[in-house]
Structure 1
Amino acid sequence: MAAALNRAAFFTAVRGKPFGGSLSQGQVSGMESLLDACPPLLGTDALAYCLATAFHETARTMLPVKEYGGEAYYRRMYDPQGERPAVAKTLGNTAPGDGVKFAGRGYVQLTGRANYRRATGELQALGILDRTMDLTATPDMALVPDVAAAIMFRGMAEGWFTGRKLSQYFGAGVTNATGARAIINGSDKAYEIAGHFQAFRAALVAAQHVPGGVTPVPIPPVTVGPLVPPIPRNSGVLPPVMPIPAPTVPEPKPGLRAGILARLRAAYPPKA
């Protein structure tokens, strides 16, 4: 998995819009995680909207965050003993304390025991988590950028959060960046996020994003000139054989999923 585009061109473009002229290392590393986790066939418009959503939901940091509000807020809003038990039930929160334990985390604020359970199964099936890793047991794993990115793309594509999916708003001649806010949160800040979508889309186009394509490789400048001094006709001298340089093959990038698993095992060792 990874988006096929010229990343240098992408970061140059987004530095101007929507980031206003500068990027922090955190913002760059967060977007790297998102581009690495992007399903290769995801369309340019859909990817731009996912990036715009992350931009908004993380307050421009592009790093996974935990929903603001504090424990009292989580208990009141999401706990089965709080003020909205029907909402808690919909989220799968059944035990006292579930509201706090399964508060929103990540790029799109994964919330509720049921969503953490679903995300665990989906990411285990993808090989991003192994069978010893369970988000319902260790919810803070949803704050790991690689995990949070996979949750965002999978969840927005499959309608985990509200039942609405990316395919309903992008593709087959349809682009509805304002309506797409319903994938995450009704119509809250829909026009603002649609503006961010336009900036990210322009950056992806400038970076030659191609769904299902191969990441463009920069081609060094070619110096044009005679290879050897000209040889007079009928001199009986054969031109020297010019050696053909061996192609330069870049070192293979370590497997993305293997790298994620290694980092997760280091941060969250299996319990004895």
Structure 2
Amino acid sequence: MAAALDRAAFYASVRLNPFPGFLAPGQVTGMEAILDAAPPDMLPERLAYCLGTCPIETGWTMLPVTENLNYTAARIRQVWPTRFASVAAAEPFARNPRALANKVYNGRMGNRLNSDDGWLYRGRGLPQITGRANYEKADQRLKVLGYLTPGQSLVTNPELALHPDVAAAILLIGASEGWYTGFKLADFLGNGKADWTGARRIINGQDRAAEIGGHARAFATALTKAGYKPGAVTKSVPTLPVEIRPLPAPAPQMPPLSGPASTDSATKPGALGGWLSALFRWAA
């Protein structure tokens, strides 16, 4: 099942806000995955906040990313001051992501000491999950809810978290159930609550909270224009001859786009190839 809404109207709205007048195919792929994975009864404010979290968390790609641990010694010392007493102490781990991950992550978050767990279970996703215990939790819940098949495993194949459909499910269920920080979507949004700024605590304290709240409100507007209502589902996304053209005026420069790493045991992407081809057909 997928969220029932007028997707052409949705993309026409988000193209202008929060995006700067145009959409890249990868951005639509990421948004399609979130719309397709959304629980049928999800309130629009909560779905909008999940969508609104992604531009900043992914560098505007709307696709899952992997934690970057390719740091200089000075940066390592800045990020983990209690683990590295000096820049010199961090030097052996500079530009050595695997060694750094095992150094700073092993022995916590379910990662075993003297193992490769810190590296294997480094951050991946839209907002990222990190640590063996969190991958295990996500694996168990997504199987119960039907997002993963019995043959798929985030524990034996953690890179599955880079597939858009799986990453979308982790975001939606994780934010709903408080996986990231203990705070849930219901603590801030829906049923009379509209704390778009405070909702940032669901993922990461108050880092860029107002900016992300603004993005979420833009997505809420788009969902309203698209006629989204909780409980309405569709078995397939309609194939429509939709064209989303660039605005005549030059748009602000977007950050470089990059896709997620390929995964062998991923689920089928939610977006329909034919519809996406039509969506990005530019006028001559």
Q: What TM bracket, shorter-length normalisation?
A: 0.7 to 0.9
Give 3-state SS (helix, strand or coil) of 2:128's partner. coil
- CA distance in 2 between counterparts of 1:171 and 1:200 reads 15
Aligned to 2:26: 26
**Residues 166 and 267, structure 2, Cα contact 8 Å, conserved in 1:** no
**Residues 74 and 103, structure 1, Cα contact 8 Å, conserved in 2:** no
Aligned to 1:36: 36
Give 3-state SS (helix, strand or coil) of 1:163's partner. coil
TM-score normalised to structure 1 length:
0.73
Aligned partner (choices 101, 124, 140) of residue 120 of structure 2: 101
Aligned to 1:199: 218
- CA distance in 2 between counterparts of 1:112 and 1:30 reads 24
Aligned partner (choices 157, 163, 179) of residue 176 of structure 2: 157
What's the offset of the Cα at 1:149?
A: 0.6
2:127 alignment partner AA: V
Label 1:17 to 1:45 Cα distance change in 2 as closer, same or farther (>3 A): same
What's the offset of the Cα at 1:73?
A: 5.4
**Residues 64 and 145, structure 1, Cα contact 8 Å, conserved in 2:** yes
Q: Which has the higher contact order (CA 8 A, sep 6+)?
A: 2
- Structure 1 gap ranges (5+): 218-259, 264-272
Identity %: 48
2:147 aligned with 1:128: yes
2:63 alignment partner AA: L
Give 3-state SS (helix, strand or coil) of 2:149's partner. coil
Task: Look at both structures and tell me which one has the larger radius of gyration over its CA atoms.
Answer: 1
TM-score normalised to structure 2 length:
0.70
What's the offset of the Cα at 1:125?
A: 1.4
1:177 alignment partner AA: W
1:165 alignment partner AA: K
Label 1:210 to 1:139 Cα distance change in 2 as closer, same or farther (>3 A): same
Computed over aligned residues only, the root mean square deviation of the Cα atoms, in angstroms, reads 2.4
- Structure 2 gap ranges (5+): 71-94, 239-265, 270-284
Q: What per-residue deviation string (whole Å, max 9, x for no partner) do you get for residues 10-55 of structure 1?
A: 0000001111100011111111111000111111111110001112
2:54 alignment partner AA: A
2:230 alignment partner AA: P
